[in-house]
Structure 1
Amino acid sequence: MMCKETNIFLVRHGETEWNQQNRLQGHQNSPLTVIGKQQAYDVKKSLDQYEIHQAYVSPLKRARDTLDIILKDRKLEVIISNNLREINLGHWEGRTREETAQSHPDEYKMFWGEPDAFVLSGAETFRQLQHRMVEELEYIFSKGKNNNTLVVSHWMAIKVALAHYTSTPLYLLSSIANPGNGTFLCLTRQGDDVFIH
């Protein structure tokens, strides 16, 4: 993967215990699994060939632990940003998908099938998530001009950002492939355009 110009290496954190258990994490946290740590090491190996000038990370521990592994042999300024957190899912956090499907069937269907219409008391909407995530990435692009920046974030946060940069409306969010645990993309800004590699 060749990246040039102003680049963001956008990483999803490694697998966690709650990922294995199909629990919704949101702003809550669970530890990286052995697999999750290995995934972070694999990202590190892939990125070793690139110079990285700065790093931004969600404050959630699973993201920070992933970042620590990736940056093991580098000394970089790391900026912790609340805007890079996962979607806030209120009282769903820590519950399994099956539990939320039973307790809130309508909201659950909207979450997976009609994200543009999803509303849950105490939770963020997808539009709110997209607004803060894109705002942060645009800030990072502006601060890291002609540099490579590492960003570690989360599943839905990354997915709604990709929707923005591919001009995909939120109601078609399911058409965007889920970023796997411990995978990364390169967002390259050239002028006003952003290309995804």
Structure 2
Amino acid sequence: MQTDIYLLRHGATPANLEDRFAGRTEEPLHAKGLAQIKEVAATLAGQRITTIFAGPLARTRQSAAILGSLTGAPVQVEEAFNEIAIPHWDGLTKDEIRARFGPEYPFWLAQPAAFRGPGCETLAAVQERAVAGLERIMASHAGQRLVVVSHLIVLRCLALHYLGRSLMDFRKICLANGELTLISRTAATTTITLPPRPWSAPRR
């Protein structure tokens, strides 16, 4: 019996196009993002998706709702797949973060796994809750095909865990808006298939 989970980065938002840190703001999809998710639905047509899980923010719920309407799969909101909490950056452009918070953003770029801040989550904490959530739904939906709609940071953390790689490799994984990663589990193995691209990513 094989369980397949497609990890999907939500469609593009205005923040993605404006180089803003959306964080946990209720950012809707841009028209480009709507088109991306419709393309994903076409890709998944015929895959018999049984359930779609989405993080609680507007952009993941909206992406999941579009997929659900086009595939017929029900949508469940799952807090484990929420965006990282760095509340004092929410809604700011990368230049505004640099101007207001000095060395914080350069440190985040250079050493994301070591980043700490008052009221902020660490990558390790994000990875722990996301992996726990994914393991829970794989156990409760064994033998099914599922979709999890989440965010770049969360999906990088999940990918690194299932690849057996360190969070120090966080910036080496490139996942564009609307791209799919596949995790497949049998009784003997768990495999992960990333999008077909080199291990490199824009620094963000």
TM-score, structure 1 normalization: 0.92
Matches within 5 A, 1:159-178: 159-177=156-174
Cα distance in structure 2, aligned partners of 1:142 and 1:195? 16
Deviation (angstroms), 1:36: 0.4
Matches within 5 A, 1:82-97: 82-97=79-94
Question: Please, which of 157, 177, 181 is the counterpart of residue 185 of structure 1?
Answer: 181
Cα distance in structure 2, aligned partners of 1:31 and 1:77? 20
Residues 1:106 and 1:192: Cα distance change in structure 2 (over 3 Å): farther
State percent identity of aligned pairs.
Answer: 29
Contact 1:160/1:173 (<8 A) preserved: yes
Cα distance in structure 2, aligned partners of 1:32 and 1:176? 23
Question: Please, which of 150, 153, 159 is the counterpart of residue 153 of structure 1?
Answer: 150
Contact 1:40/1:182 (<8 A) preserved: yes
Residues 1:92 and 1:50: Cα distance change in structure 2 (over 3 Å): same
**Which amino acid in structure 1 is aligned with residue 183 of structure 2?**
L
Deviations 1:80-106 (A, max 9, x none): 111111111111000011111222233
Bigger RCO of structures 1 and 2 (CA < 8 A, at least 6 apart): 1
Which residue in 2 is equivalent to 1:61?
Answer: 58
- The two structures, once aligned, show a CA RMSD in angstroms of 1.5
In the alignment, structure 1 segments of 5+ residues that lack a partner are: none
Partner of 1:72, secondary structure, is: helix
Which residue in 2 is equivalent to 1:79?
Answer: 76
Contact 1:107/1:119 (<8 A) preserved: no
Matches within 5 A, 1:7-156: 7-156=4-153
Which residue in 2 is equivalent to 1:195?
Answer: 191
Contact 2:19/2:94 (<8 A) preserved: yes
TM-score, structure 2 normalization: 0.89
